[in-house]
Amino acid sequence: MSQRILIVEDEEAIALGLQLNLERDGFVTELAVDGEVALSMIETWNPDLVLLDVMLPKLSGFDVCDRVRKSGNRVPILFVTAKDMVGDRVKGLELGGDDYITKPFSMDELRLRIRAMLRRQQWYESTPEQGDVVEFGGNKVDLSAYRATTRDGVVTMTQKETMVLKLLIENEGRVIDRGTILNRVWGEEMYPSARTVDNIILNLRRRFEVDPKNPKHIFTHYGAGYSFQR
């Protein structure tokens, strides 16, 4: 079945260019011309990916992204905008956007990003060999629900935490380097900062290790990466 892309763009010329090119690539597209229409279409049309402009009538792209994430929807969001400020990029990502592309861009660049995001999403949604529910050290993690039962009770994990843990669990006993984690979880051009993986690992240890300073499940291999052991 063709994958569905929602184009949220108020400028007719850009929307037309995107629609014609993406439909030629085999995607099914729909157009939302303002933030409010975008929100209701994400809900009802259930797209596989959203191309989201930042400057929109009624509700800005940032607000749309924020509301979508707060509602628990994890559809991949690619910000497409003429704004090129570092602050805007960071804001977009903090609000839960998955990638950011600045106008003007070529269709080749956009295609690459869309495919990488869809591939990542597919991996996010796939079930590892070990199953969706994994138990270790008295913790029970549901990878599909982004939820875990730990000694502190039931906790909701962020998407990135869940994906880093999933990658480690899929490769149980093997050392995974930081670059691989960044590529698989964030995408090739989306390195938020060098310390991001370290911070996620720290969070995971705090959640799942009895003594985070002497981990029994999530190990650091200095200069090499991280590994997981049940």
CB 76 within 8 A of CB 105: no
- Using a 10 angstrom Cβ sphere, with 0-12 exposed, 13-18 middle and 19 or more buried, the burial of residue 20 is exposed
* Integer Cα distance of 125 and 156 in angstroms: 17
Question: Is residue 66 at the binding interface for another protein, with CB under 8 A as the rule?
Answer: no
Task: Kindly state the helix (H) or strand (E) to which residue 93 belongs, with its residue range.
Answer: helix 86-94
- Which one of residues 45, 46, 57, 199 is an interface residue with another protein (CB under 8 A)? 57
CB 11 within 8 A of CB 47: no
- Which one of residues 4, 28, 58, 66 is an interface residue with another protein (CB under 8 A)? 58
**In the complex, what is the shortest distance from the CB of residue 12 to another protein, in angstroms, rounded to a whole number?**
6
Total residues interacting with another protein, rule: CB under 8 A: 32
Question: Is residue 59 at the binding interface for another protein, with CB under 8 A as the rule?
Answer: yes
Question: How many CA atoms lie less than 13 Å away from 109 in the CB half-sphere?
Answer: 11
**In the complex, what is the shortest distance from the CB of residue 74 to another protein, in angstroms, rounded to a whole number?**
23
Residue 23 vs 198, nearer CB to another protein = 23
Kindly indicate which of the ranges 4-12, 115-123, 180-188, 205-213 contains the residues binding another protein, using the contact rule CB under 8 A. 4-12
Q: Which residues bind another protein (CB under 8 A)?
A: 10-14, 16-18, 20-21, 24, 35, 54-63, 82-85, 102-107
